[in-house]
Amino acid sequence: MATSTSPDSSMPAELAAPYGDGPAASAAGLPAAAAASTAAAPGSAPGLDTGTRKPVAKIRTHHLHQAKLNGERFAMLTAYDQYTAEIFDQAGIEVLLVGDSASNNVFGNETSLPVTVDELLPLCRAVTRSAKRALVVADLPFGSYEVSAQQAVATGVRFLKEGLAHAVKIEGGKFYAETVRAMVQAGIPVMAHIGFTPQSEHALGGYRVQGRGDDAQRLVDDAVALADAGAFCVLMEMVPASTAAAVDAAVEVPTIGIGAGNATTGQVLVWQDMAGLRGGRMAKFVKQYADLRTSLSDAAKAYGEDVRSGQFPGPEHSF
Ligand code: KIV
């Protein structure tokens, strides 16, 4: 088993911030945690608090670890803006990912490679400001951490300081263990992303399942090295369910899957895939829970027709 900074299952309840907790909470006369718990109604989201079994006011990395120990699961979705962050947070989604998939889901690029730190930071800020309970993880985009551990620490600091993220995610296997160690030592919680890593699409020869057959051990080794280096979680993309199960069994830290079967502690999907906003062919691992593309298209068509026919605005929309 890989070691990690283990959450203490007897960890006491979180205290109010000792040195001030921001204008929103002060305005309401509440400590931040109490203000958050009144803002969000997590509904049927799993209760992750060890002692009380109540939904916690703010999801921290140790709650995800505790979920694995308790045999509970958690959900992660991408979010890139204010309203999706608010909606998913209030729906009880435990982790929001400001993914570099913003590149091909927000900025109109073909792949995740072109998106920059300066493009992602404002999206990250919007998500973090809008989510009261979820843990917000930001992707370090391609080219912003590979050069050296120092570069990774510097970029990670920008995401926590300017993007207000709670943690960052980097792609890559055990080669990045020392990078993860340096980031964690600098106080940056790191989620590791192994298996198919979209930033390496060209190096990997396209979208291909990783860790099949004999290659499974490589992913186990990657996960163990990254968890030993201090990663608080290991995300696996497009790996066989059996490989993901072996990885999950080999590390103490929680695992998250996307196209990685059902043995991981958490699951993640890109929200536009999950909610049916994106058109075109979907990956096998996507389940669509809504058809927002049709709803939005129908709404736009109805609005256009009303405008052209003079039906909108009516007297009720006029001053
Ligand atoms: O950027 C992203 O959306 C991701 C997920 C695919 C895990 O990294």
**pLDDT by position in tens, the chain (length 319):** 343 444 455 566 788 888 777 765 554 443 444 444 444 444 334 555 666 666 789 999 999 999 999 999 999 999 999 999 999 999 999 999 999 999 999 999 999 999 999 999 999 999 999 999 999 999 999 999 999 999 999 999 999 999 999 999 999 999 999 999 999 999 999 999 999 999 999 999 999 999 999 999 999 999 999 999 999 999 999 999 999 999 999 999 999 999 999 999 999 999 999 999 999 999 999 999 999 999 999 999 999 999 999 999 999 999 9
Instruction: State whether 174 and 97 are in the same domain.
Output: yes
Same domain? For 75 and 125 the reply is yes
21: in domain: no
- In the structure, which protein residues have their CB atom closer than 6 angstroms to any atom of ligand 1? 78, 97, 99-101, 139, 193, 235, 237, 258, 268, 270
- Our answer to whether residue 171 is catalytic in this structure is no
End-to-end CA distance of the chain: 68
Out of 88, 101, 282, give the residue to mutate to test ligand 1, the one with the largest number of ligand atoms within 8 Å of its CB. Answer: 101
Q: In the prediction, which pLDDT does 167 show?
A: 99
pLDDT of residue 47: 54
Residue 248 lies in a domain: yes
CA distance 123 to 143: 18
CATH number, domain of 74, equals 3.20.20.60
Query: Which residue's C-alpha comes closest to atom 4 of ligand 1?
Result: 99
The answer to whether residues 269 and 296 belong to one domain is: no
CA nearest to 190, candidates 248, 225, 139, 141:
139
Q: Are residues 151 and 297 in the same domain?
A: no
The number of helices, as runs of H, and strands, as runs of E, in the chain is: 12, 8
Parent domain of 119:
33-288
**Residue 94 sits in the same domain as residue 157:** yes
The catalytic position among 86, 94, 171, 237 is: 237
Q: Does any domain span residue 96?
A: yes
Same-domain check for residues 273 and 302 = no
Instruction: Give the pLDDT score at 13.
Output: 77
Same-domain check for residues 85 and 159: yes
Cα separation, 96 vs 83, whole angstroms: 12
Position 124 scores a pLDDT of: 98
Per the domain annotation, does 309 fall within a domain? yes
Whether residue 262 is found in the same domain as residue 303: no
The radius of gyration of the chain's CA atoms, rounded to the nearest angstrom, is 21
Pocket test for ligand 1, best of 78, 137, 194, 269 (most atoms within 8 A of CB): 78
Q: Give the chain's domain count.
A: 2
Q: Does one domain contain both 298 and 271?
A: no
User: Alpha carbon of 301 to those of 278, 297, 306: distances in Å?
Assistant: 18, 6, 9
Same domain, 227 and 314: no
Claim to verify: residue 84 and residue 217 sit in the same structural domain: yes
Closest CA to 35 of 21, 49, 46: 21
pLDDT at 3: 39
Q: What per-residue confidence (pLDDT) applies to 268?
A: 98
Give the per-residue pLDDT at 54.
Answer: 66
The answer to whether residue 204 is domain-embedded is yes
**How much is the pTM?**
0.90
pLDDT at position 38: 40
pLDDT at 30: 38
